[in-house]
Amino acid sequence: MRIIGLTGSIGMGKSTTAAMFREHGIPVYDADAAVHDLYDVGGAAVAPVGEAFPGVVQGGAVDRELLRQQVLGDPEALKRLNAIVHPLVGLDRQTFFADAQAKGADMVVLDIPLLYETGGDARMDAVVVVSAPAEMQRERVLARPGMTPERLDAILAQQIADAEKRARAHYVVDTGRGLDHARSEVTEIVNALRARADAAPGPGSVEAQTEPGH
């Protein structure tokens, strides 16, 4: 079973692209959704996060905005948070892998926003980067409730630049050219990955046969 990393900076259309992979019957693991569950009432992260960041637990759940205020721009605070959350996400992801294998999936997609930033790309058989023009990205993000230019700039400062992500990617999906174009690109990527798997099965062979950025 091949592990495909799906990533991209904020506002690039990653969630929409993930849905396109699901249309091909490929299981997709959404790291953000997993974290939401961990932060929700009864979630495994609520108690340790509340202890590490006093005041962020409200009504039995982690208030993501209050947590964001405590960690944004503070590398040490972010490191403490990741030390709590990443192992819990890892356990959840193992359950996802086991379920996908039991169902006979030939590949899975891991939707991970900070894949390159955390070094997770090293564990992928291939990486797909979702991208769009910077002005379109900014317009999309600033249309979100509560988003400000200052907050967007702070988020982007924590992410590797889109140009670098594109250069390091095995495949790029451009959502700036419309949904039909992006869907066509996803279909081509899925077909290419499956063709390479048939030709040279085994972890890592995708990287060996695919030029970065294509």
pLDDT digits (tens, 9 = 90+) for 19-59: 999 999 999 999 889 999 999 999 999 999 999 999 999 99
CATH of domain 1-27+106-214: 3.40.50.300
Domain residue ranges of the chain, discontinuous segments joined by +: 1-27+106-214, 34-104
pTM above 0.75, yes or no: yes
Phi and psi torsions of 13, nearest 5°: 100, 30
**∠ at Cα 25 (22, 28), nearest 5°?**
45
* pLDDT confidence of residue 206: 34
pLDDT digits (tens, 9 = 90+) for 89-105: 989 999 999 999 999 99
CB 205 within 8 A of CB 16: no
Question: What region, left, alpha or beta, does residue 137 occupy, with left being phi > 0 and alpha being psi -120 to 50 degrees?
Answer: alpha
